[in-house]
Amino acid sequence: MSADINSRYGLNPAHSEVVKTGEIVAPCKALDMGCSNGRNALYLSQLGFNVTAVDNNPDAINMLRQIVSEERIDNIEALVYDINDAALSGDYGLIACTVTLMFLNPMRVDAVIENMQSHTLPGGYNLIVCAMNTNEHPCPVPFPFTFKTEQLRDAYKGWELLKYNEDLGTMHNGAQLQFATMLARKPSQ
């Protein structure tokens, strides 16, 4: 399974929220936004998703392409793409964007989310995990973008929220910050 592929290539296991999403969402056409070298894309592909994986780091995309080639994986397409462009092509049953929005241009995040939403098929899903900066827990990392309390929920008005929390997490160095974690389903029509 993917854990074997991931460890064979020195990759971490898939993000825990991607694993949970894979238990809820049936295999479909999926987009992994900010895929890095593919820990989540590889996991989803092993579950039978047809994955487009994008990142603006060409080295990460090249490494993922190499794994795809060596493993003869036929359901991952890895592409260099700047998420700030908010110019997706194609529609997806699942768009996953884990720990990536916080690296974007804050002036582009609204457009990026609208672009994700409009390229999600009716009844399809968006998974987002992103750092927050709140009065209770100021973000200790100078990310370009962070969510405010309830900001992500407000952006998904009209969608069914299968999961939404703003729980406290701990970084490797012990610093604590909140993360907005959401799995949302677009209305079927």
* Buried-state track 72-87, b at ≥16 Cβ within 10 A, e below 16: ebebbebeebebeebe
Query: d(Cα 157, Cα 12) in Å, to the nearest integer?
Result: 33
Q: How far is the CB of 122 from ligand SAM (least distance, A)?
A: 25
Query: d(Cα 4, Cα 92) in Å, to the nearest integer?
Result: 27
- Of the pair 55, 166, the CB lying nearest ligand SAM is at 55
Query: d(Cα 98, Cα 15) in Å, to the nearest integer?
Result: 8
Residues that bind ligand SAM (CB under 6 A): 15, 34-36, 39-40, 55-57, 60, 82-84, 98-100, 103-104
Cα 60 to chain centroid distance, Å, stands at: 15
Q: How far is the CB of 17 from ligand SAM (least distance, A)?
A: 9
Residue facing ligand SAM at closest CB distance: 34
Q: How far is the CB of 95 from ligand SAM (least distance, A)?
A: 12
Q: How far is the CB of 100 from ligand SAM (least distance, A)?
A: 4
- Of the pair 40, 115, the CB lying nearest ligand SAM is at 40
Both tokens of residue 42?
Answer: 């590889």
DSSP three-state, residue 97: strand
- Of the pair 8, 122, the CB lying nearest ligand SAM is at 8
- Of the pair 21, 100, the CB lying nearest ligand SAM is at 100
Amino acid at site 150: E
